[in-house]
């Protein structure tokens, strides 16, 4: 039986949306085009988000964070993405990187790393993928071997968001020869640890203001206490993390799509052809209607998934995958249609929709491709979880 989760945004959630939207209009959106053009990390946007406590809103209050719930965090990411997709990866990846510590780390590990992220003194990245281990994360070859009172890590991680900018990294590595996922453990590695280095920034289609680089681990020695959870539980922690953070990618997709729809609506009411605004042409209105309908459906699904993330519901795996898949597919369609509605102007950098179309594409790929999301959903259906 399908269960439905009814919700209504609280006054607090509405206030958060308004505050983030105002901040982004003034201090994030003005840097979006430059970040895309130069490929440089939008430090001014980070500083603005940090000053308003929107850079890592998910960190609990006991560690000095804002203590935002999963829905509030999704709203923050959505609104930042509406202005600049690259900047939205600041709160999104801070959650992705630090959530394993929050879910499975020791009390000492949490106290050691979460306050710095809450203050904005450090960002946290997530190192799961490798050159030969993308969707097949269990095929990783990065190793962590115990040597006295240290772990020694060796390997290469690829497609690491904000690599080189983040101070902290959750790294997944094999600690035993156990078959499949049972030999994988998780660790916190610091940028300053000897043996940590980074590859050249990837030359990407979109989200250019968020650096994506390889992370090299060459005999990196870290204290035993930097393991996250028990040895051999790393893969389970990784999957639990993704159940929650796929909601943030759905939120990012929502924001990108909303930004594109906003731009298309404004343009169509100003642009005139045949003596009237093109917004009055029925064929174009049908396109707008489909864009709005799919965006609304994606938002409903994403917020419902966020509610399940907050209470760690048993059907979160399904809803997280469904929200990420549906919202990112919708974002790709909506941004592409926005370019079409602007005609030749949509194809130029004079308007933001071409950037939004390029940015939207990655939401169908990272944190599990949408093909993988459909596998996840099908397995949940076959188990009778939904």
Q: Are 335 and 344 in contact, with CB atoms under 8 Å apart?
A: no
Q: Are 90 and 80 in contact, with CB atoms under 8 Å apart?
A: yes
SS3 154: strand
Please give the backbone phi and psi of residue 171, each rounded to the nearest 5 degrees, phi first.
Answer: -115, 130
Whole-angstrom Cα distance, residue 120 to residue 112? 14
Active site residue 12: no
What six digits make up the tokens of 68?
A: 């935002």
Q: How far is CA 372 from CA 75, 297, 299, in A?
A: 25, 21, 21
Active-site pick, 78, 79, 130, 367: 367
Whole-angstrom Cα distance, residue 28 to residue 279? 29
What six digits make up the tokens of 370?
A: 């949408």
Whole-angstrom Cα distance, residue 90 to residue 41? 10
Q: Are 88 and 32 in contact, with CB atoms under 8 Å apart?
A: no
**Helical (H) or strand (E) element with 299:** helix 282-311
User: What are the residues whose beta carbons fall under 8 Å from the beta carbon of 225, sequence distance 6 or more?
Assistant: 106, 108, 109
Residues with active-site annotation: 367
């Amino acid at each position: 039986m399908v269960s439905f989760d009814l919700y209504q945004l609280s006054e607090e959630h509405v206030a958060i949306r308004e505050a983030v939207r105002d901040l982004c209009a003034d201090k994030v959106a003005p840097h979006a085009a430059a970040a895309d053009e130069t490929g440089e990390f939008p430090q001014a946007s980070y500083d603005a988000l940090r000053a308003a406590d929107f850079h890592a809103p998910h960190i609990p209050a006991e560690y000095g964070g804002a203590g935002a719930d999963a829905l509030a965090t999704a709203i923050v990411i959505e609104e930042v993405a509406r202005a600049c997709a690259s900047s939205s990866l600041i709160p999104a990846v801070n959650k992705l990187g630090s959530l394993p510590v929050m879910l499975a780390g020791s009390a000492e590990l949490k106290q050691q790393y979460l306050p710095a992220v809450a203050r904005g003194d450090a960002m946290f990245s997530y190192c799961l993928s490798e050159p030969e281990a993308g969707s097949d994360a269990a095929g990783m070859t990065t190793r962590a071997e115990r040597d006295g009172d240290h772990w020694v890590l060796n390997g290469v991680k690829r497609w690491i968001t904000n690599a080189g900018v983040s101070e902290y990294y959750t790294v997944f590595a094999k600690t035993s020869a156990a078959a499949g996922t049972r030999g994988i453990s998780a660790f916190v590695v610091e940028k300053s640890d000897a043996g940590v280095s980074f590859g050249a920034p990837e030359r990407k289609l979109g989200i250019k203001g968020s650096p994506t680089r390889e992370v090299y681990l060459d005999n990196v020695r870290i204290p035993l206490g930097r393991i996250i959870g028990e040895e051999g539980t790393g893969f389970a922690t990784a999957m639990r993390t993704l159940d929650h953070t796929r909601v943030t990618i759905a939120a990012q997709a929502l924001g990108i799509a909303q930004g594109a729809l906003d731009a298309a609506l404004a343009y169509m009411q100003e642009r005139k052809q045949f003596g009237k605004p093109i917004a009055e042409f029925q064929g174009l209105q049908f396109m707008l209607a489909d864009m709005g309908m799919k965006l609304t459906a994606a938002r409903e699904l994403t917020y419902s998934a966020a509610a399940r993330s907050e209470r760690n519901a048993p059907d979160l795996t399904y809803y997280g995958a469904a929200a990420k898949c549906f919202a990112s597919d919708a974002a790709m369609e909506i941004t592409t249609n926005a370019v079409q509605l602007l005609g030749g102007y949509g194809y130029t950098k004079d308007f933001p929709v071409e950037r939004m179309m390029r940015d939207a594409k990655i939401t169908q790929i990272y944190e599990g491709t949408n093909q993988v999301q459909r596998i996840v959903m099908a397995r949940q259906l076959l188990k009778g979880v939904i």
